[in-house]
Amino acid sequence: MPKELLLQHIRDSGRGGASLFELQQVLPGLSRGQIQTLLRELRREAKIRVEGVTKGARWYAGPEKRNSTQF
């Protein structure tokens, strides 16, 4: 259930994406590490992607964008 809540919030965030801080507000009963584990699982399932790093990172719905320079 928590994974579905994260995914729904990320989808609802649209083009602006969602920060880890926002996602912690969605699931205040989970630790930061637990939320990061769920995000990794969703990313492996190609349901979400992250853009940026550290505090500036934003989570978006959908699979990773492919780099056009890769063959």
Contact of 7 with 45, CB cutoff 8 Å? no
Q: Residue 43 contacts by C-beta under 8 Å, 6 or more apart in sequence?
A: 49, 50, 64
pLDDT bucket at 71, cuts 50 / 70 / 90: very low
| pLDDT tens track for 11-70 | 999 999 999 999 999 999 999 999 999 999 999 999 999 999 998 999 999 987 765 444
Q: What is the CATH number assigned to the segment(s) 2-61? A: 1.10.10.10
Q: Report pTM.
A: 0.86
What pLDDT score does 66 carry? 67
- 67, 66, 18, 15: which is closest to 42 by C-alpha? 18
